[in-house]
Chains A and B, each alone.
Chain A
Amino acid sequence: MFESFSAEILARVQFAFTVSFHIIFPAFTIGLASYLAVLNAQWLRTRDRTYLTLFEHWKKIFAVAFGMGVVSGIVMSYQFGTNWSVFSDKAGPVIGPLMAYEVLSAFFLEAGFLGIMLFGREKVGERLHMVATAIVAVGTLASAFWILSVNSWMQTPQGFAMNEAGQFVPEDWWAIVFNPSFPYRLVHMVLAAFLTTAFVVGAVGALHLLRDLSDRCARRNFSMAMWMAVLVTPLQIFAGDLHGINTLEHQPAKIMAMEGHFDSHPEGAPLYLFGIPDQENQTLDYAVGIPKLSSLILKHDLDAALDGLDTVAREDQPPVGIVFWSFRIMVAVGFAMLAVGAWSLVRRVQGRLYDSRWLHRAALVMGPSGFVAVLAGWVTTEVGRQPFTVYGLLRTGDSLAPVAAPAVGASLMAFIVVYFFVFGAGTFYILRLMGQRPDKGPGAVEGPTRTAGITPATQLGREHAVPGE
C-alpha cells in the first residue's frame, strides 16, 4: 500500500506529523508553567484564595498536557535515529551535545520537581512547593533554550569543520549555540508560547463569564490573560519582524517564498496580500499587492532592491505554496490577537471588561488561535528551509536512514492511529476540565483522592466564591 510513496516522503510526513503533534503541548505548557508559578506566588503573597483555586485547577490541566508532551517528545528523540540516521551520524557531533544539555538541564529538572509541584504541597510545605513550581517553569524555558538552539543551528549553521567521514565537527561551541538566528527564534517562540497560553486561559475565563458574570475565578483568568494579550502581542509582532529581517540575511530563499517573490524587484518589492503561487511556471497568479511595502518592512526603505526566486536554482527552492500560505495564516492570527488585546484594553479602561459579551465571545473563539499560529509559524520556517536539513550543506534527501518505504509507512500509520486516539482523548479530558468551574463542579466536590486531614483547597475556595466581586 506504500509502493507509490518513497521512503523519503513517508519519513518526512512522519516527522512532520509527530513533531507537529508534539509542539502543541510544549507551546501550551511553557506558558502554563509560568502562569502556575505566578498564580502560586500571588496566592502566597496575597492569601487570596481565588489564586489557590485557580492554581489547583490549572495544575490538573497542566499535568495532562505535560504528560502528552513527555510521551510525544520521547518519540522525537528516537526518530532522529530510526528515520534520519545519516543526518544523525553527520550532524550528531554538533546537535547531539546540545540535546544532551537539554535532557540534563531541563528534562530532569522538570520531571524531578513536577512530582513535588503536583503532589507535594502538604509534604514539603508552601515555601519549597513554591520553589518546585518555579523550577518546573524554569525547566520548560531551559528546554526551549536548547531545542531552539539546535533548530537554529540547522537553519544557520556555523562554528564547525568537516571531517573525512563527512561529519560536522564542532570547533566553537559559543558560535554553535548562539548561532545567528537563535536569539530571534528563541524570543519569537517563547513569546508565542506565552501568547498561546494566554489565549487559552482567556478563552476559559470568557467561557465561564458568558455563563456567570460574577464568577471570580473566571474574572481573574480573563483579566490576567487579557493583560498578556495587550502587552505581549505587540512585542511578538516586533520580534517577528526582527526575525524576518534576520531570515532575509541568512535564508533569503525562505523570505522569497514567504513573500511570493518569484521575480526580483530592483526598485522596491510589493507586499502581496493574496495570490496563488505557481511554482511550476514561477509565477504568483491573481496577485494582490501593495507596492514597495515589502521593501519597507524588510529593508526599512521603500526603494530597496529585493531579489526573487529567479536568483535561486529550481532544485534549491522551498515549496512556495505551503510557505506562502502558512506565513499569511500566522500573521493574520497575530493581528487578530492584537485586535482582541486592544479591544480588551478599551473595555478595561471603560470598566466594562467583565460584561462585554461580544468581547468574551471573541476571546472564546480565539482560544485555539495560539496553536494555529505556532503550527503555521513552524511550517513556514521548516518548509521554508527545504530542501536542506542543515541549511545549504546537507540535503533532506541525503539525510535519510537506509529504511524501506513499507517500514516507514507502517510506523507512520501506527503513529497516526495511536496519536489521534491517545491525544484526542487527552484533549477531550482537558476541554472537559476547562469546562468545569474550578470552585464548583464534580472535580471540586468529589476530589476522589486526597491526602487525609487536608481540606481540599478547591472546597475552601468555594466558600469564598461570593457573587459580585
Chain B
Amino acid sequence: MEFDLAFIWAGLIAFAVLTYVILDGFDLGVGILFPLAGSETDRDTAMNSVAPVWDGNETWLVLGGGGLFAVFPLAYAVVMPALYMPITLMLLGLVFRGVAFEYRWKTRAWKPVWDVAFIGGSVLAAFCQGIALGALVQGIEVEERAYAGGWWDWLTPFSALTGVAVVTGYALLGATWLVMKTEGALQHRMRRAAWPLGLATLGFMGLVSLATPFLEPVYFARWFNLPGSLFSIVMPVLVLAAAWALFTGLNEGRDARPFLAALSLFVLGFIGIGISFYPMMVPPAMTIWEAAAPRSSLAFALVGALILVPVILAYTGYAYWVFRGKVRPGDGYH
C-alpha cells in the first residue's frame, strides 16, 4: 500500500503550527498583558509562570519552519520571500521577547527596559504572525517556482485585521493561562481582562470568517457548497459552545476551564483555516503535492517524526507536569 506521504506531512506541519500557536500563544499573551499585570512582584510571577516552558513552546515554531523547509521546500522558498518583512520583524520581536526572560533578572537599573522589550517583542511577534497568516490566506503570487509579487503585497486591510485578531487572541490565551496559574490580585485582574478579550476575540473571528470566503472564489465555493457548507453550520455552533464555556468558567471562578475554552477557540479557528486551504499548501494555486519534496525526503523525515514526536510530546507533558499548579511570588531560580 502506497501512503500519501505529502498528505501525512501536511497534517504533521499543521499540527506543529497549531501546537506552536496555542503554546507560544499564551507565552506571547503573557507578554502582551504584561502592562496590566500590576505590581513588579505580579509581573515577576506572570513571567515565572511561563519561564520554564517558553523555550520548548517556541521550538514548535522552529519545527514548523524547519519542517516546511524539509518536506515542502518549494512552499518555504515561495512563502518566506513573500513575507520578507513580517517574518523579519517577527524574528526581531522574538529576539527581544526571548532575551527578556533572562536579562530582566540580571539588572535593577535596566529592568524597565527589558520589561518594554518583553512587551514590545511579544506584541510585535504576535502581530507579525497574524499578518503572515492573513497574507497567506489572501494568496501568494507564484511564477516558475519563485515568489512573483511585490514587497508590500502582504500589507492589506485583511492582513492588518488578522494581525490585530492574533494579538487579541493571544492576549486572551495569556489572560486565561494566568487565571489558571496564579492567585490573588493578579488572578483577579486577569479574570476581569479575559471578559473583554474573549468578546473581542470572538468578534475578530467572526470578521475574519466573514471576509475569508470573499477573498478567493475557491474559499467561497468551499464554504457555501456541499459538503463544505455543513461546516458553515457546525463550526459556528462549536465556537459558541467554546465561548459559553469560556464566559461561564470566568463567571463561576473556575481556574482551568477558561484556558481550555480559549484553547478550543484557537483549535476551531485553525480547523476553519484548514478547511479553506485544503488541498492548497500556498493559496491560491500551489497544492500540497506540488510543493512536496521528493519521496525519499518525505520518507526519511517521516521515520524520525513518527518516532520522535510522540517522545517529544511525552517529555513536554512531563515538563508541564513538573511545573504544574499555581506559581507563587518568589518561584524561580534567579
Residues of A within 8 A of B (CB): 59-60, 63-64, 67-68, 70-75, 77-78, 80-82, 85-86, 88-94, 96-97, 99-105, 107-116, 118-120, 123-124, 163, 165, 167, 169-171, 173, 401-404, 407, 411, 414-415, 418, 422, 425-426, 429, 432-433, 448-452
Contact = CB atoms under 8 A, between A and B. Distances in A.
Contact of B76 (A81, A108, A116): A81
Contacts of A85: 76-78, 80-81, 146-147
B110 A425 contact: yes
Contacts of A407: 84-85, 151
Contacts of A71: 94-95, 98-99
A70 B100 CA distance: 13
Interface in B76-90: 76-81, 84-85, 87-88
Given A123-B323, A170-B300, A81 B305 contact: no
Nearest to B148: A402
B95 A418 contact: yes
B305 A100 contact: yes
B182 to A, nearest CB: 15
Contacts of A414: 88, 92
Nearest to B76: A81
A119 B101 contact: no
29 contacts: A67-B101, A71-B99, A72-B95, A74-B58, A74-B91, A75-B95, A77-B66, A77-B69, A85-B77, A85-B146, A92-B77, A99-B69, A101-B304, A104-B308, A104-B312, A107-B59, A108-B59, A114-B55, A115-B55, A118-B52, A119-B51, A119-B331, A123-B322, A401-B77, A402-B147, A414-B88, A433-B106, A448-B334, A452-B328
Contacts of A90: 73
Contacts of B99: 67-68, 71, 422, 425-426
A74 B61 contact: yes
B151 to A, nearest CB: 6
B71 A112 contact: no
B122 to A, nearest CB: 13
Interface residues of B, number: 73
Given A85-B146, A169-B294, A448-B334, A70 B323 contact: no
B52 A92 contact: no
B96 to A, nearest CB: 7
Contacts of B112: none
Contacts of A78: 65, 80, 87, 91
A75 B332 CA distance: 28
Contacts of A80: 69, 76, 80
Nearest to A419: B95
B56 interface: yes
Given A71-B95, A71-B99, A74-B61, A81 B146 contact: no
Given A120-B322, A451-B331, A82 B63 contact: no
B258 to A, nearest CB: 24
Contacts of B318: 112
A121 to B, nearest CB: 9
